Structure 1
Amino acid sequence: MGGLWPLLVMTGMHRVFTPTIIQTIAETGKEGMVMPSEIGANLSLGGSSLAVAWRTKNPELRQTALAAAASAIVAGISEPALYGVAVRLKRPLVAALISGFVCGGVAGIAGLASHSMASPGLFTSVQFFDPSNPMTIVWVFGVMILAVVLSFILTLLLGFEDIPVEQEAQSEKAATAPALSV
């Protein structure tokens, strides 16, 4: 599930799981399939964006990638990293998918479960803490660190085609040009 999550977000199909998550939490007090795998997916996109920011020579792409990484890692909002960096450059998306798959599996093996519904990130990690099992704190932060580090390394290994500064300026100029000139 963690490896497919960014693809589900791209198509809007991630919202299909919302009623199931809410009902599962209401009935059992926790949800252990979708939300734990989403940790790996969100933070993997953040790690890939960090690698792009570190490696790119384009200052505008660096700025976009850093903001997207902060959004994904801190708040669990992965769309800026997904659309602004990963889809645009392609290979960082592959790195995030692989890392999300691995980290979703680790979260599942660890038995992590969410006790509320919020987009998983650093600030919302408390939703995974189980008072009856203090090791969940270690597992949550372990999965988060693994997601960022693994996707960062995979993005560097897979590489990406950097956007030249001139190309960025030309596309911006075309976007601001009048639609019809006489």
Structure 2
Amino acid sequence: MKNTTPSSTSMASTTADRNPAITNTTPSTTSIASTTADRNPAITNTTPSTTSIVGTTADRNPAITNTTPSTTSMGTTTKLQTSKKYPYYVNIQDYADEPGRHNLILGSTRPGDILLFTSRQNVHGTLFEVQHYTFQYSQKPTETISGVLVRDKWDDDTGGYPELMAGGPGQGYVVVKITSQQNRGFYFSFSVYGRNT
């Protein structure tokens, strides 16, 4: 009598014979990872890296190198703002004798004075007419006017003529009137200097 008891060894062999591709049906973590890497070779490490994130940001924007505020750079900015608020000293008497220009100088300036106000006025001429313009400035409560420079921007002796109408240095305000030559216009700048306490 033959033995009819099934043999696990023979069944496994028979299964392998029917499908040679099946060699091991036990799931393998290593083989799954390898298969994932094979499907997408770019995936090599899925663990987040702080260093790689920073590097990627720098690649997207090369200008970003350091986002930490710098005391030195902030100090430089403050210095630049201060230099704009307090311009360099100007001696308005240097403009007293400019050839071809009809300048008006009121008072004087000294080191420490600052530019309190400045503006320009350009008026076009009209045939057979004379043009006029009046400049006015009143100092603020913390200001003291020490000098006013009314400068003719034309140097060919065809500009207008400035005249003090009221006020002046030490009086808290100034009024200057410009009168053009007939048929002509004028172009003047107005600069008020003094102290701001």
* Higher Cα radius of gyration: 2
Instruction: Calculate the TM-score normalised by the size of structure 1.
Output: 0.23
Q: If each structure's strand is expressed as a fraction of its own residues, which one has the higher value? A: 2
Instruction: Calculate the TM-score normalised by the size of structure 2.
Output: 0.22
RCO greater where, 1 or 2, for CA within 8 Å and sep 6 or more?
1
